[in-house]
């Protein structure tokens, strides 16, 4: 079995695809076990309705907030408490973005005491009191403005000494609460989700990761801007390591929204939608393995993956 064969399978028509997969499973089970994520790329195909494209950052954010609120209301109709996992980063925090719209226009749309919040990741060695920490940024931009009770908030503490325990605690909490209902994601320029960098495995849980040079470069600007100039600037100011929930943790969410805006994300978005090997582009796991993902892009982020491919191409 070589890569050409996988390519053919991936592009075959749906009906014969399942027959082919069945045949391969029976004739070569060991290969299937080793390669399952690649083979089963064809298991779930994207529908056009999974992808929403808006003209700019603000309309992308507005649409995403509306969909998030409607999904959250649906969850709260079925359960007493909803569990939500939040990202940080410019995609959500910039002016006119998701968090600003959520906190100003939808503050009263939900009883926030019925929502439990986790975050995706945190820099190691950066305390929650530090403006550069994701903890601080989420508290300031979202959780305090929404008036979420403190007992509903579970954010990583990057200053904690026993990081392993912090990771284990997170997985236990999520399990205890019956899993995550909604996860909001951005995407890194190298295709990372959370801080799951290229090379992250499908079954990875919450853990400590080394940040790639590309990610440190991407996030350098936040370290320069926050703190009013008295902080170290340059790539050295970005911590080398972070805590992140794993790919498995993310994929176990019942609903996932991924937002991407701007030209700088176009390559990662294209690679993800083309199902580039997830070991090179972790966001591809969302297409290959996840039960429910809604992608909301602006024109620029979607520009390298043309709409025509949705109709005539692999989908
Ligand atoms: C941050 C996170 C990251 C970011 C990604 C995009 O909590 O999980 O995966 O979503 O790096 O960052 P921005 O939005 O700054 O482009």
Top mean pLDDT of 31-35, 208-212, 291-295 is at 208-212
- pLDDT over 60 (residue 38): no
- pLDDT over 90 (residue 313): no
Look up 298 and say whether it is catalytic: no
Q: How many CB atoms lie within 10 A of CB 272?
A: 26
Q: Give pLDDT, residue 246.
A: 97
Residue among 135, 188, 224, 256 to mutate when testing ligand 1 (max atoms within 8 A of CB) = 188
- pLDDT over 50 (residue 220): yes
Question: Please, which residues have CB within 8 angstroms of residue 26's CB and are 6 or more apart in sequence?
Answer: none
What is the dihedral sign for C-alpha 40, 186, 120, 229?
Answer: positive
C-alpha of residue 92 to centroid of ligand 1, in Å: 8
Measure Cα distances from 39 to 227, 287, 292 in Å.
Answer: 47, 13, 19
Could you say which of 119, 166, 192, 255 is catalytic? 192
Which of 14-23, 168-177, 181-190 has the lowest average pLDDT? 14-23
C-alpha of residue 48 to centroid of ligand 1, in Å: 24
Atom of ligand 1 nearest to the CA of 185: 10
The rounded percent of the chain whose pLDDT value lies above 90 is 70
The binding-site residues of ligand 1, defined as CB within 6 angstroms of any ligand atom, are: 87-91, 120-121, 134, 186-188, 192-194
> For atom 3 of ligand 1, which residue has the closest CA?
194
Top mean pLDDT of 9-18, 127-136, 214-223, 224-233 is at 127-136
pLDDT band at 222 (very low <50, low <70, confident <90, very high): confident
| 9 sits in which H/E element | helix 3-11
Q: Give pLDDT, residue 85.
A: 98
Q: Which residue has the tokens 């550069």?
A: 132
Yes or no: say if 298 and 54 are a contact pair by the CB < 8 Å rule.
yes
Q: DSSP state, 246?
A: -
Q: Give pLDDT, residue 55.
A: 96
Q: For residues 228 and 38, give the distance between their C-alpha atoms in angstroms, rounded to a whole number.
A: 46
Look up 121 and say whether it is catalytic: yes
pLDDT band at 90 (very low <50, low <70, confident <90, very high): very high
Q: Give pLDDT, residue 26.
A: 72
User: In the numeric block, which tokens belong to residue 44?
Assistant: 């779930």
Q: For residues 163 and 126, give the distance between their C-alpha atoms in angstroms, rounded to a whole number.
A: 12
The rounded percent of the chain whose pLDDT value lies above 70 is 78
What is the dihedral sign for C-alpha 170, 175, 180, 186?
Answer: positive
State the number of CA atoms in the 13 A half-sphere of 143 facing the CB: 24
Average pLDDT over residues 168-180: 95
Q: For residues 63 and 239, give the distance between their C-alpha atoms in angstroms, rounded to a whole number.
A: 33
Give the end-to-end CA distance of the chain in Å, rounded to a whole number. Answer: 23
Q: Give pLDDT, residue 236.
A: 81
C-alpha of residue 114 to centroid of ligand 1, in Å: 26
> 119-139 pLDDT, tens per residue?
999 999 999 999 999 999 999
Q: Give pLDDT, residue 290.
A: 66
> 241-259 pLDDT, tens per residue?
999 999 999 999 999 999 9
pLDDT band at 221 (very low <50, low <70, confident <90, very high): confident
């Amino acid at each position: 079995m070589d890569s050409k064969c996988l390519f053919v399978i991936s592009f075959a028509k749906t009906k014969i695809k399942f027959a082919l997969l069945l045949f391969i499973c029976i004739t070569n089970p060991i290969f299937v076990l080793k390669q399952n994520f690649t083979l089963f790329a064809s298991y779930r195909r994207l529908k056009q309705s999974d992808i929403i494209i808006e003209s700019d950052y603000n309309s992308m954010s507005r649409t995403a907030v509306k969909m998030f609120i409607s999904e959250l209301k649906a969850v709260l109709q079925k359960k007493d408490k909803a569990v939500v996992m939040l990202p940080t980063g410019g995609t959500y925090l910039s002016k006119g973005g998701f968090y600003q719209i959520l906190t100003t226009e939808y503050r009263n749309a939900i009883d926030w005491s019925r929502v439990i919040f986790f975050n995706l990741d945190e820099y190691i060695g950066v305390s929650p009191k530090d403006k550069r920490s994701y903890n601080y940024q989420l508290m300031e931009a979202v959780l305090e403005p929404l008036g979420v009770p403190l007992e509903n908030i579970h954010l990583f503490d990057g200053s904690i000494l026993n990081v392993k325990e912090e990771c284990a605690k997170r997985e236990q909490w999520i399990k205890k609460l019956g899993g995550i209902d909604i996860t909001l994601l951005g995407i890194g320029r190298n295709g990372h989700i959370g801080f799951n960098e290229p090379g992250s495995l499908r079954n990875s849980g919450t853990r400590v990761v080394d940040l790639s040079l590309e990610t440190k470069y991407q996030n350098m600007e936040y370290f320069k801007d926050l703190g009013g100039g008295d902080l170290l600037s340059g790539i050295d100011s970005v911590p080398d390591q972070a805590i992140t929930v794993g790919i498995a943790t993310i994929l176990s969410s019942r609903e996932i929204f991924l937002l991407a805006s701007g030209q700088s994300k176009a390559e990662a978005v294209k690679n993800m939608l083309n199902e580039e090997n997830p070991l090179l582009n972790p966001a591809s796991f969302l297409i290959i393995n996840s039960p429910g993902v809604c992608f909301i892009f602006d024109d620029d982020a979607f520009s390298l993956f043309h709409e025509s491919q949705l109709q005539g191409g692999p989908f």
